Amino acid sequence: MSDIPEQVHSLTEAVEGWLTREEGELLYRLARRCTGRGVIVEIGSYKGRSTIWLAKGAQAGAGVPVYAIDPHTGSEEHQAGTGEAVWTYDEFLTNLRRAGVEQIVLPVLAESQQAARTFDQPIELLFIDGDHRYEAVRADFNLWVPKLLDGGYLLMHDTIRWDGPRRVARESVYRSRCFRDIGFVHSITFGQKAASSTQADRLRARYVLLLHTVYDVLSAIKPPPLLKRAAKALFMRLQIR
Ligand SMILES: C[S@@+](CC[C@H](N)C(=O)[O-])C[C@H]1O[C@@H](n2cnc3c(N)ncnc32)[C@H](O)[C@@H]1O
């Protein structure tokens, strides 16, 4: 039996977004583990699919608040080359209310780089899924990871087949000495911030990076759904956590 109520799956599946069920479950479980030493920060909420996963996890745990940072004007890919803002805030709020998480989510209508200037709370879980251009992801990493507590988790979405997030994850998570327990669930790369890592942590990180690279190459192929599911499950098992 799953440790996650089926209602959370149906609520999140009803919200437009890209997060898979397994990615959502990872957000939920890590949010549920947060103790309140710090807060949860999400960069890039769109219509709230990942926000609801995080908030439901937090509600099932210590009730840690979720700061949801997004100007709600859409990213390049949502603007379909027009450069025109796509307003998502109203739908975001409606979805939060429907899920019953509006009390625990604190929306911040700003770009992440601007919000970072005044945000002074320690962070226990940081989820980066905003502007996917390399320079923007690099800025998010550099501005926000210093606010993440040792022992806290960083999660980055779209590190498979998206050049910006993938490069930052490879440069600064898989090859870093500041993260342990590194892994990936579909396109999310995650790691636990640590003051230092051991030789064993670093060896494992290199091994997981190799798996991530193979997974990235294979994800360009479109196998039949059954084979795809089996391959995904195999890659999760190969990470030996
Ligand atoms: C891929 S979507 C996020 C999807 C969301 N996490 C989900 O699971 O449905 C990217 C979001 O990032 C937001 N965004 C773009 N640039 C941003 C920035 N500089 N700071 C914060 N959010 C940004 C966009 O408005 C958009 O809603």
Residue 45 C-alpha to ligand 1 middle, in angstroms? 5
User: What's the pLDDT tens digit per position in 14-30?
Assistant: 999 999 999 999 999 99
What superfamily would CATH give domain 6-169+183-194?
Vaccinia Virus protein VP39 (3.40.50.150)
- How far apart, in whole angstroms, are the C-alpha atoms of residue 109 and residue 183? 30
Per-residue tokens: 46: 């769109």
Q: 0.85 cut: is pTM over it?
A: yes
Ligand 1 close to Cβ of residue 129 (< 6 A): yes
Residues identified as active-site: 132
Ligand 1 close to Cβ of residue 89 (< 6 A): no
- List the chain domain ranges: 6-169+183-194
pLDDT tens over the chain, length 241 residues: 789 999 999 999 999 999 999 999 999 999 999 999 999 999 999 999 999 999 999 999 999 999 999 999 987 777 666 767 889 999 999 999 999 999 999 999 999 999 999 999 999 999 999 999 999 999 999 999 999 999 999 999 999 999 999 999 999 999 999 999 999 999 999 999 999 999 999 999 999 999 999 999 998 888 888 888 888 888 888 887 6
The answer to whether 28 and 58 have CB atoms below 8 angstroms apart is no
Q: Quick one: how many helices (H) and strands (E) in the chain?
A: 9, 7
Q: Which of 13, 56, 75, 96 to mutate to test the pocket of ligand 1 (most atoms within 8 A of CB)?
A: 75
pLDDT of residue 80: 66
Long-range contacts of 215-221 (CB under 8 A, 24+ apart): 215/160, 215/184, 216/160, 216/161, 216/166, 219/160, 219/161, 220/161
